[in-house]
Amino acid sequence: MKLYKILHKSTGLYFTPSRGSGNLSSTGKIYPRIPQIKWVGNGVRVIIKTWGNNPKLTKKQKILIKHFNILPNEKNGAGYWIDKCFDVPTTDWEIIEI
């Protein structure tokens, strides 16, 4: 049986339908049938919440910060606190077979 994922080519992360943790992940959702790019929509939700002067960032968070040019939280002067949707063209996505 063939399985599929939706890859964000620019970051190397996968699309994950989500209500509370963002739409890009290192594992992604596995689809048993070929998905459609239109399921992604016109953008992705990025959520990064860290505290402290030297927040320990995951590899995924570092990729998102670099790609979407996310700046540290100026309020309180430390960490990242973002829950935002970014426009992403459909040409940045690719359906891959796993």
Query: What are the boundaries of each domain within the chain?
Result: 4-97
User: Whole-angstrom Cα distance, residue 5 to residue 16?
Assistant: 9
What distance lies between CA 32 and its chain's CA centroid? Answer: 21
* Segments of the chain with pLDDT less than 70: 53, 74-77
User: Whole-angstrom Cα distance, residue 70 to residue 43?
Assistant: 16
Which pLDDT belongs to residue 80? 85
pTM value? 0.86
